[in-house]
Amino acid sequence: MKYHREEELKNKLNHFFITQFSLPEEDYYNRLDSEKIISLKMALSDINNLLTMKITISFINWISEKFNISHTSREKILDEILATKPSTNGYDIVSNEIIKLIGEVKCNIPINGGIKYGSAQRNGISKDLNNLLYGKTKSKFDTNDYLKFMVFLENESVRSANQHYIHLSKEFREKIIVVDEKTIFDRKDCVYLIHINFIN
C-alpha cells in the first residue's frame, strides 16, 4: 500500500484520542480547523513542563520517605518548587530541609522509540551533570555541600538509553551512581541518577 502522509497523521491522531481518552470511534482529525490545531499545539507545548512537574513531585515524595523528612518540610520544598516558573534559571530542585540536595529533572525519551539518546539529548545531560558537579557558569551557588541527583522517568527505554550514555561517557562514567534499593547516599562528589514513576 502506497504511503500517504496525511492518512498516517490522521490515523495516529484519531487512535490517540480514542485509546488514551476512551472516546468513541470517530474521525477527530477532520474536525480540526486551523484555530483548533493552533490551540492543540499551544496546549501540547507545555507537555514537557507537565511531565517535569509530575516527576519532580514524585521525586520529592521519594526523598521525603527515604530521608524521613517531615510532612511540614516536604510541603515547604514542594511549595518552593511549585512557585518557581519553568523557565527560571537554576536547578530544578534545591533543598536545605533536613538534608542539602540539588537536582535536575530530565524528561528525555530516546529518539524514534529507540534505546539510545540523540546527540542533542546527550549534550544536554552532559551539561546538567557538569552543572551539578561543578556549579553553573555565572552562579555563586556552591554545589560541594549538596547531595546531587539527576532524575529520570522510570521507563525501560529510558533506562537503556541511560546505560548507553554512561557507557559512552568517559568524562562522567565514574561520577554517576545509578540508584537502587541498596544505594547509600554518602557521597557529594558524584551524581545519583534515579528513575522515578510519577504518581497522580
pLDDT along the chain (200 residues), means of 10: 88 92 93 91 85 91 91 90 78 85 92 87 95 85 92 94 94 95 94 88
State pLDDT tens for residues 80-109: 888 888 767 778 888 887 789 999 999 888
Whole-angstrom CA distances from 137 to 59, 93, 187 are 26, 17, 23
Which helix (H) or strand (E) covers residue 61, if one does?
A: helix 47-66
